Amino acid sequence: EPYGTSLGGHYGVNDLNEHVHSTEAPCDVCPRHGVCVPPVQCPAHVRPGARNPRCHLETQIGVCCFTGVSHAGKYWHRKRSNRASINVEDVKAAHNQSRRKLQMWLLRAEGLQKEPYAVVNVTSPSYGHHLSLVTYDERAQRLGRGALLNLFAAQELKSRQALTDDELALRFTDHTDGPYCPPNPPCPEVPSKYRSVDGNCNNKDNPSWGGTHTGYGRLLAPSYSDGVWAIRISASGEPLPSARAVSTALILDGNHPSSNHNLLFMQFGQFVAHDISTGVVYTLANGKPISCCDGNGEAVLPPEMQHWACAPIVLDEDDVFYGQFKQRCINFVRTQLAPDFDCSVGYATQMNGASHYPDLSHLYGSSVEKMSQLRAPGGLLAVFNDYGRELPPLTHRKECLNVHDGAACFESGDNHGNQVISLTVLHTIWTREHNKIARALSALNPGWDEDTVFMETRRIVLAEFQHIIYNEWLPLLLGSKIMQMYGLTPSAGYALAYDPETNPSLSGEFATAAMRFGHSVVDSQLTVLSRQRKGVYESISLPEVMFQPSRLRIKPFLDRLLLGLMWRPMQSVDPFVTEALSRYMFHGGNPYGLDLAAINVQRGRDYGIRSYNDYRKLVGLQPLADFHQLAPSAARRLSSVYASPDDIDLWVGGLLEEPVEGGIIGTTFANIIADQFTKLKRGDRYYYEYGPDVNPGAFTPSQLAEIKKVTLSRILCDNSDGIEISAASPNAFFRSVPGNEPVPCDSPLIAAMDLSKFKE
Ligand code: HEM
Ligand SMILES: [Ca+2]
C-alpha cells in the first residue's frame, strides 16, 4: 500500500509544533551575553539540563547560545577536559595494549588478502561501490592506522576508568595524548595567494582544518553502541532492523516529478557532493576491495571469516526483490577512521578523502601529485582530444564497469568521475572552462609562466563555481528565508563573514543523511534530446551508464544530454527513490545491483549518527513521541520496522518531512545543509567573496563584480559543443517554465565575464 496520493513529502512529519524550550516569550536581547542563533548552530541546547531562552531571529525563532562568539563550527563537545584520576601508568598501559591490538588487526587483515572469498569480485555490483568511494593512498593508510591506535587506547582507558559515553564524548585527555599524533601539515611562512591543493593551510592556527584525509565533524555526539565505534543499536538495546528492511518498508519507487527543478539541478548537486565529501572505506592492504559476503552474495560470511571493517547488510530469504536471485547479503565495508590533529583519544571519527572546501578537488585532485598528473603544458588541464572535442583524459586504470573494446573511461581528480555519465559531462564542462580561461589569460598576460596561468585560472574557476553554488543552487534548495537567516546570500561587494574560529569540516550528519536527499531526486532515465531531430533521440536507463561513459565519444551526445538534463524534471524529495538506485545500481552484467537506500541507512549507523528524533530537537522541532502522530500510511510503515520512534534513521526521517517554504527539503535537512554551507563560508579564508584583509588571494572589486555575473547557463553556453546548444534558459536549474524560456547564448540575460579585468 503506497503512501497517500499527494505529490512529494506530505507525510505529516512536520505537522507538529515547534519544539518548546520554555513557555516564556522569546527575548529581544539574550541575557548573559548569549548570542541568538538558529538552534542547529547551538548544539549545546539539547544537552540534558540545558535551558536556553528563545529569541527572535529575523525570520524565525532562535535560541540564546552561551558557548562562544560564533556558533557554526565550534566543537562544543570536543573541549578537552581533565580527569584527574588518569595516571601515567594507565596511559602507558593503554598505549601498549593499543599497539598490540593494532598488530593483531593488521595481521588478520593481511591473512585475508590471500583468501579469494575476502576480496570483491570485479564482476559483482559491489565492485562499482568500491569504485565510488575509495581514494586509496599511502597517506590515508598511515593516518588511518594512527586513528585505530588512538581508538584502541580510548577503548582501553574507557574500561580501565569506567568512563561513561558522555565523558568520552567530552574528550578526557588533557594529559593523555593518544599513541599516535599526526604532524600538522607544513605551511608557508607567508600565506600563498592560491588555495592549497589538499585544503591544508587555510586556517592560520589550525592548518589541518578542512584538509584532505581529516575527519568529519559532528553536530551531536555519536551514538555508537559501545560509545567508541560499534555500530548503532536500538533504544531498546536490541539490534536495529536490517538496513534493507528499512529500505523495503519505507523507500518506494514512484514517479513524482518536481514542478520546476530539472535534472541538471540533481546532477549539479552530486557534483558538489563529490567535491566536498568522499568517505574513505577500508580496503585490504594491497588496495583491493574487502568482501563481507560469500563470493556471490548468497550468504553473509561467518563473523570469524570477515574482515574487522565488515558490516554486511543482511537480506531476508523472501526479500521482495533479492529473494528471486537467492541473494542474502549486500556487501558493506565501514568507513576508515581519521586521527584528531590535537592528538586526543576518543570515539571514532570518519575520514574524508576529499578536501572539505568546495574547491573542485574532484577536477584538480586533492594532492600535489595528483594535480600534476592532471595538468598539461601552458597552464591547461590535460584532455583527450577526440577529433577536435576536448574530453577528460582517458584513464587506463580499471575505473569503469563492462570494459570492452572501444569502451572509454575518463580520468578525474577523485577517480570516480565515471560514476554516472551525466556526472562525467559536468567534469568535461568544467575542464573545458578551465582551459578556455587559461588560453584567454595567457593571451592577455603574455609574460606569465605556465604555473601562473594555471593557478590564476584555477582561482577564477573556483570563484565561478562557488558563486554558482551560493547564488544559484542553494537558494533553490533552501528557499530565500533560510538563505537570509544564515547569511548565505552573496553580497554586493566583499563579504564580511570570515571567522577564524569556525571549523569548516563537513559534519557526518550532512554527508550521510542531509546531502543524500539527492538520491531521492534521481530519475530512472536520462533523456538525450535533439533540437535538430525535434524530440527525444534516446532514453537511457540510468544503470546502463554507471561507470560506462563511452557514449561521450559520440559527437553530438554531450550537447544532447545537456538539453535532456535541462528539459527533464528531476524527482521530488520524498521517500521515493528510483529502482535504478535501490535495485539495479552498478549491476554491470548482473540481473540485480545494489540498494543505495539500504547503504545510506547502514552508512549512517556506521558513522554513529544519532536517531532522527535527536536532530528534530536539535533544529527546534518537537520529537516524535508516537508513530501515530504521522499520516496513517507513514505511521504504519514506520512502526512495521522500527521498535520505537527513537530508532528512526536520520536519512529516512528527513525524507518524510514536508519541504520548507520556497525550498525542496524539510526543516531538518535544510538546517543541517544551511549550517554546513555557513561553515564552508565563514571558515574558508579563500572564499571568493572575501577582501584582501582576509583572503590572501582576494579579487579586486572590479574582478569580483565580473565573477558575480557568471551563471551556470553561461558556463554551459561557453563549453558545450555548439552542435545543439546555441540557447539556454537564464536559470539553468529550472525547466523552461514561463519567465525562464531559453534565450540565445549571446543574450544579455546570460551575462559573461569581462576577462580584461584580469590583465596584469
Ligand atoms: C546520479 C546518481 C547517483 C548515484 C549512482 C549515487 C551513488 C552514490 C554512492 C554509491 C554513494 C556511496 C554510498 C556509501 O557507501 O555510503 C553515494 C554517496 C553520496 N551521494 Fe550519491 N549518488 C547519486 C546521486 C547523488 C546526488 C544527486 C546527490 C546530492 C544532491 C548525492 C549525494 C551523495 C552524498 C552527499 C554522498 C556521501 C558521500 C560521502 O561522504 O562518501 N548523490 N552516492
Ligand atoms: Ca573539495
Stretch 608-618: mean pLDDT: 95
**Alpha-carbon distance values, 697 to 374, 556, 704 (Å):** 23, 38, 12
CB 279 within 8 A of CB 350: yes
| CA dist., res. 441 & res. 456, Å (int) | 8
Given a cut of 90, is residue 694 above it in pLDDT?
Answer: yes
Return the residue matching grid coordinates 581528480: 413
| CA dist., res. 656 & res. 177, Å (int) | 43
Stretch 307-332: mean pLDDT: 97
Q: Give the per-residue pLDDT at 221.
A: 85
Given a cut of 80, is residue 74 above it in pLDDT?
Answer: no
Stretch 679-699: mean pLDDT: 97
Write the single-letter amino acid at 625: A
Question: 264 CA distance to ligand 1 centroid (A)?
Answer: 15
| CA dist., res. 257 & res. 259, Å (int) | 6
**pLDDT tens digit string along 79-127?**
455 555 677 888 889 999 999 999 999 999 999 999 999 999 999 999 9
Please report which ligand is nearest the Cα atom of 267. 1
Question: 680 CA distance to ligand 2 centroid (A)?
Answer: 11
Q: Which of 292, 270, 276, 305 is nearest to 420 (CA)?
A: 270
CB 134 within 8 A of CB 76: no
Give 75-108 as a DSSP string.
-GGG-----TT--HHHHHHHHHHHHHHHHHHHHH
Q: How far is CA 382 from the centre of its chain?
A: 26
Question: What do you get for the CA distance between the two ends of the chain, in Å?
Answer: 66
User: What cell numbers appear for 33 in the block?
Assistant: 551575553
Q: Which of 583, 591, 579, 580 is nearest to 545 (CA)?
A: 580
For ligand 2, a single-atom ion, the residues with CB < 5 A are 275, 354-355, 359, 361
CB 278 within 8 A of CB 361: no
Label residues 631-661 b or e (16+ Cβ within 10 Å = b).
beebbebbbebbeebbbbbbbbbbbbbbbbe
User: What cell numbers appear for 143 in the block?
Assistant: 593516518
519 or 87, which is more confident?
A: 519
Counting ligand 1 atoms within 8 A of each CB, the residue from 132, 334, 349, 664 with the most, and so the one to mutate, is 132
Mean pLDDT of the chain: 91
Stretch 64-86: mean pLDDT: 54
Please report which ligand is nearest the Cα atom of 263. 1
CA angle, 672 then 674 then 679, to 5°: 95
If you take atom 25 of ligand 1, which residue's CA is the nearest one?
Answer: 270
Question: 693 CA distance to ligand 1 centroid (A)?
Answer: 37
Q: Which atom of ligand 1 is nearest to the CA of 585?
A: 5
Given a cut of 80, is residue 10 above it in pLDDT?
Answer: no
Stretch 685-701: mean pLDDT: 98
Q: Give the per-residue pLDDT at 17.
A: 46
User: What contacts 6, CB < 8 A, 6 or more positions away?
Assistant: none
If you take atom 22 of ligand 1, which residue's CA is the nearest one?
Answer: 519
> Predicted confidence band at 421 (pLDDT cuts at 50, 70, 90)?
very high
If you take atom 39 of ligand 1, which residue's CA is the nearest one?
Answer: 278
Q: Which atom of ligand 1 is nearest to the CA of 274?
A: 38
Return the residue matching grid coordinates 554491470: 588
**Alpha-carbon distance values, 510 to 160, 275, 653, 742 (Å):** 34, 14, 14, 34
CB atoms within 10 A of CB 318: 8
| CA dist., res. 119 & res. 113, Å (int) | 7
Please report which ligand is nearest the Cα atom of 578. 1
Q: Give the per-residue pLDDT at 108.
A: 93
| CA dist., res. 732 & res. 473, Å (int) | 10
| CA dist., res. 333 & res. 606, Å (int) | 9
| CA dist., res. 624 & res. 231, Å (int) | 23
Q: Which residues pair with 743 in a beta bridge?
A: 728
| CA dist., res. 432 & res. 421, Å (int) | 17
SS3 427: helix
Given a cut of 60, is residue 18 above it in pLDDT?
Answer: no
Sign of CA dihedral 667, 488, 215, 599: positive
What pTM did the predictor assign? 0.95
User: What cell numbers appear for 111 in the block?
Assistant: 591473512
| CA dist., res. 311 & res. 307, Å (int) | 9
Stretch 635-641: mean pLDDT: 94
Q: Which of 522, 568, 567, 642 is nearest to 253 (CA)?
A: 522
**By percentage, how much of the chain surpasses pLDDT 90?**
76
Q: Give the per-residue pLDDT at 34.
A: 85
Q: How far is CA 120 from the centre of its chain?
A: 25
| CA dist., res. 605 & res. 413, Å (int) | 29
Q: Which residues pair with 576 in a beta bridge?
A: 252
Given a cut of 60, is residue 324 above it in pLDDT?
Answer: yes
Q: Which atom of ligand 1 is nearest to the CA of 422?
A: 1
CB 585 within 8 A of CB 541: no
Task: Specify the DSSP element, H or E, that contains 330.
Answer: strand 329-330
**pLDDT tens digit string along 336-361?**
999 988 888 888 999 999 999 999 99
**pLDDT tens digit string along 659-678?**
999 999 999 999 999 999 99
Pairing of strands 313-314, 389-391: unpaired
* Lining residues, ligand 1, CB within 6 Å: 129, 132-133, 266, 269-270, 273, 277-279, 419-420, 511, 515-516, 518-519, 522, 546, 581, 585, 596, 599, 603
Task: Specify the DSSP element, H or E, that contains 320.
Answer: none
| CA dist., res. 502 & res. 204, Å (int) | 12
Q: Which of 95, 349, 351, 418 is nearest to 214 (CA)?
A: 351
Return the residue matching grid coordinates 578556455: 436
Stretch 371-399: mean pLDDT: 94
Question: 362 CA distance to ligand 2 centroid (A)?
Answer: 7
SS3 574: coil
Phi-psi group of 249: left, alpha or beta (phi > 0 → left; psi -120 to 50 → alpha; rest → beta)? alpha
Please report which ligand is nearest the Cα atom of 198. 2
| CA dist., res. 146 & res. 143, Å (int) | 5
Q: Which of 318, 256, 341 is nearest to 9 (CA)?
A: 256
> Predicted confidence band at 172 (pLDDT cuts at 50, 70, 90)?
low
What radius of gyration, in Å, describes the C-alpha atoms of the chain? Answer: 25
Counting ligand 1 atoms within 8 A of each CB, the residue from 401, 516, 517, 602 with the most, and so the one to mutate, is 516
Q: Give the per-residue pLDDT at 309.
A: 97
> Predicted confidence band at 14 (pLDDT cuts at 50, 70, 90)?
low
CB atoms within 10 A of CB 357: 27
**pLDDT tens digit string along 732-760?**
999 999 999 999 999 999 999 999 999 99
Q: Which of 86-100, 425-439, 634-648 has the lowest mean pLDDT?
A: 86-100
Q: Which of 405, 379, 407, 375 is nearest to 394 (CA)?
A: 407
Q: Give the per-residue pLDDT at 76.
A: 41
Measured torsion, CA atoms of residues 488, 489, 490, 493, in degrees rounded to the nearest 10: -100
Counting ligand 1 atoms within 8 A of each CB, the residue from 270, 506, 507 with the most, and so the one to mutate, is 270
Stretch 3-26: mean pLDDT: 54
Q: Give the per-residue pLDDT at 2.
A: 61
Given a cut of 60, is residue 75 above it in pLDDT?
Answer: no
CB 274 within 8 A of CB 349: no
Of 19, 129, 261, 274, the active-site residue reads: 274
Q: Which of 467, 390, 463 is nearest to 720 (CA)?
A: 390
| Catalytic site includes residue 274 | yes
CB 369 within 8 A of CB 432: no
| CA dist., res. 278 & res. 321, Å (int) | 29
Counting ligand 1 atoms within 8 A of each CB, the residue from 268, 310, 366, 519 with the most, and so the one to mutate, is 519
* Sheet arrangement for strand 35-37: 35-37, 61-65, 54-56
**pLDDT tens digit string along 392-415?**
999 987 889 877 777 899 999 998
Question: 270 CA distance to ligand 1 centroid (A)?
Answer: 7
